[in-house]
């Protein structure tokens, strides 16, 4: 039953969080279970089940994840212009369920087909639910960052459960069961959204939903009784075929995606094209807005460019660090718990986010009340400094290794704790700042660009991981330890430089942001 809430009623909520945030929280949580569950299996599955080399598996991982995030831009664009956020989310969920079902049926023979359904589905689902979270708040609401931090915790509850459960089921029992579980929880996510969507009022409806057509009848309505002219307003019709064209087009592109993901050189061409094309499109859109609005968009672009660097380093977790965990880590945590190292690699970050996201949100609120909260640019810089610290700890694992090249799961897990602090300074704040800096009609596109930055980060991460593995396929375990930890040290240095640079230029970026905090 429709609640018929207005946007003003939704945004004038009492307390720290609007109730609609909790509904979106649970829908996103289960979707992320599906996504991170499959993401955590990719590299290990390709090496152990599809007999790929480490180098090729890293490139395939980077290509797959790059397309996942690149399609969030396309999903955001179609949501803005045609479907609306709700229909986009629903369609994306359906495609993800189909992809999971294909993989559950035969992950060896239909691996790239199932992954391609998931790629396109995530593109429609992911950016649009985040945009709806932003719409729950007025532009100057200081509670927005806290809301996104809580929402981000929901993402990571799903990541924790899916990241450990799916890889564990695949390694110990059945890969069919592992991929099937991802599909089941995606179905739960979609049902959660369907049963709670009416609480969102006008948020996420198609841009054509309230479009009206005016028709004027010069002689009135009754030809037998001439009267004054009458104007009739009616809902627009004939737009439905736009929706069907989007659905058909997204299905038609799946075979193309399957080929491009399987052949990584096609991914190279795509990434060389999509970024410049996106910037050209954004520049075109910027011509429709004032200089004051364009300065905010320029600030958003700066955040996006630095985000590419951040994710290129951070996303070693799904590629090189997956192989590092499988070969170079022991299975004892704190000397007591026996855990699968790959499960820890997939879920440690999510575990720490669940613990600390709420604490970070309270810290931001507390600092805001005292008017000493760091601005967004400084928060980004802090994110890079923590990221550098985490990768320096990863480098230090070489000093805890035994003669066989097996090193400490404790030190590895500690690195994730520090990396998580960096993520909490950057990622939830990044989602929030895109909605703050973007005009209403460009919010879906800008959210898509934020995820496109993640796509380039994933792409770069795959290349970095492949370079670490290149020429070392037959290396001993201790040689692999030296190669990977040297690589992590270099990445730590890059993160440190980026963090310092961001803090130095923060006054300039703050001026571009104007009244946005």
Of the listed ranges 165-179, 187-201, 412-426, the one predicted with least confidence: 187-201
Q: Binning pLDDT at 50, 70 and 90, where does residue 19 land?
A: confident
d(CA 80, CA 86): 11
φ, ψ at 390 (rounded to 5°): -65, -40
CA–centroid distance for 378 within its chain: 22
Of the listed ranges 227-231, 237-241, 473-477, the one predicted with least confidence: 227-231
Paired tokens of 48? 């152990």
Residues paired with 329 in a beta bridge: 407
Residue 356: its pLDDT value, please? 85
Q: Which residue has the higher pLDDT, 202 or 279?
A: 279
Q: What is the pLDDT of residues 40-83, one digit of tens each?
A: 888 888 888 888 888 888 888 888 888 887 777 777 778 777 77
Q: What is the pLDDT of residues 432-488, one digit of tens each?
A: 777 778 777 777 677 777 777 888 888 888 888 888 776 566 778 888 888 888 889
pLDDT over 70 at 260, yes or no: yes
d(CA 316, CA 94): 29
Residue 340 near residue 168 (C-beta atoms within 8 A): yes
Residue 98: its pLDDT value, please? 92
Residue 477: its pLDDT value, please? 80
Percent of the chain with pLDDT over 90: 12
Burial of 14 (0-12, 13-18, 19+ CB in 10 A): exposed
pLDDT over 50 at 186, yes or no: yes
pLDDT over 80 at 165, yes or no: yes
Mean pLDDT, to the nearest integer, of 164-177? 89
> How much is the mean pLDDT over the chain?
81
Q: Binning pLDDT at 50, 70 and 90, where does residue 414 land?
A: very high
Q: Binning pLDDT at 50, 70 and 90, where does residue 428 land?
A: low
Residues paired with 217 in a beta bridge: 230
pTM of structure: 0.77
Helix axes 144-172, 175-196, angle to 10 degrees: 150
Q: Binning pLDDT at 50, 70 and 90, where does residue 223 land?
A: very low
Q: Which residue has the higher pLDDT, 73 or 394?
A: 394
Question: Domains in the chain, please, with CATH?
Answer: 1-207+246-262 (1.20.1250.20), 264-516 (1.20.1250.20)
Residue 338: its pLDDT value, please? 85
d(CA 415, CA 388): 10
Residue 156 near residue 30 (C-beta atoms within 8 A): no
Residue 473: its pLDDT value, please? 64
Q: What is the pLDDT of residues 301-356, one digit of tens each?
A: 888 889 889 988 988 888 888 888 888 888 888 888 888 888 888 888 889 988 88
Residue 391: its pLDDT value, please? 94
Mean pLDDT, to the nearest integer, of 155-171? 88
Q: Binning pLDDT at 50, 70 and 90, where does residue 425 land?
A: confident
pLDDT over 60 at 229, yes or no: no
Burial of 214 (0-12, 13-18, 19+ CB in 10 A): exposed
Q: Which residue carries 């520049």 as its tokens?
A: 283
Percent of the chain with pLDDT over 70: 90
Mean pLDDT, to the nearest integer, of 94-119? 90
Residue 217: its pLDDT value, please? 35
Q: What secondary structure letter does DSSP report for 373?
A: P
d(CA 442, CA 97): 29
Q: Rank 18-22, 95-99, 168-172 by mean pLDDT and report only the highest.
A: 95-99
Residue 199: its pLDDT value, please? 77
Q: Binning pLDDT at 50, 70 and 90, where does residue 127 land?
A: low
Residue 210: its pLDDT value, please? 52
């Amino acid at each position: 039953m429709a609640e018929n809430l207005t946007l003003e009623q939704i945004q004038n909520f009492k307390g720290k969080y609007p109730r609609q945030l909790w509904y979106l929280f649970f829908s996103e949580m289960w979707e992320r279970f599906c996504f991170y569950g499959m993401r955590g299996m990719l590299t290990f599955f390709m090496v152990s089940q599809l007999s790929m080399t480490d180098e090729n598996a890293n490139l395939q991982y980077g290509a797959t994840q790059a397309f996942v995030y690149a399609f969030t831009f396309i999903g955001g664009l179609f949501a803005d212009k045609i479907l609306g956020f709700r229909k986009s989310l629903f369609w994306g969920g359906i495609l993800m369920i189909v992809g999971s079902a294909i993989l559950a049926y035969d992950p060896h023979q239909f691996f790239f087909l199932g992954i391609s359904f998931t790629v396109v589905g995530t593109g429609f689902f992911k950016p649009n639910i985040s945009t709806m979270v932003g719409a729950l708040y007025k532009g100057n609401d200081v509670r927005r960052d806290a809301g996104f931090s809580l929402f981000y915790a929901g993402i990571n509850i799903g990541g924790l459960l899916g990241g450990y459960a799916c890889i564990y089921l695949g390694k110990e029992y059945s890969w069919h069961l592992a991929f099937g579980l991802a599909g089941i929880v995606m179905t739960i996510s979609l049902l959660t959204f369907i049963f709670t969507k009416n609480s969102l009022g006008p948020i996420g409806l198609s841009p054509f939903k309230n479009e009206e057509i005016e028709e004027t009848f010069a002689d009135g309505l009754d030809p037998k009784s001439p009267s004054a002219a009458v104007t009739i307003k009616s809902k627009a019709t004939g737009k439905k075929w736009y929706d069907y064209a989007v659905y058909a087009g997204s299905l038609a592109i799946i075979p193309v995606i399957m080929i491009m993901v399987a052949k990584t050189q096609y991914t190279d061409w795509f990434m060389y094209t999509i970024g410049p094309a996106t910037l050209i499109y954004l520049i075109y859109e910027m011509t429709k807005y004032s200089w004051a609005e364009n300065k905010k968009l320029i600030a958003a672009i700066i955040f996006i460019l630095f985000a590419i660097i951040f994710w290129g380093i951070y996303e070693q977790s799904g590629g090189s660090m997956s192989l590092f965990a499988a070969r170079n880590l022991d299975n004892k945590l704190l000397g007591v718990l026996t855990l699968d190292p790959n499960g820890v690699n997939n879920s440690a970050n999510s575990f720490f986010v669940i613990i600390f996201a709420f604490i970070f949100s309270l810290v931001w609120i507390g600092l805001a009340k005292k008017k000493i909260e760091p601005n967004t640019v400084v928060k980004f810089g802090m994110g890079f400094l923590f990221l550098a610290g985490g990768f320096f700890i990863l480098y230090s694992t070489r000093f805890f290794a035994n003669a066989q090249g097996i090193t400490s799961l404790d030190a590895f897990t500690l690195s994730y704790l520090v990396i998580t602090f960096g993520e909490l300074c950057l990622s939830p704040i990044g989602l929030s700042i895109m909605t703050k800096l973007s005009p209403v009609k460009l919010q879906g596109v800008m959210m898509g660009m934020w995820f496109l930055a993640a796509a380039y980060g994933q792409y770069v991460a795959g290349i970095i991981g492949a370079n670490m593995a290149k020429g070392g396929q037959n290396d001993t375990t201790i040689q692999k330890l030296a190669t990977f930890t040297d690589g992590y040290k270099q990445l730590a240095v890059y993160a440190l430089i980026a963090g310092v640079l961001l803090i130095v230029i923060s006054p300039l970026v703050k001026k571009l942001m104007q009244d946005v905090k």
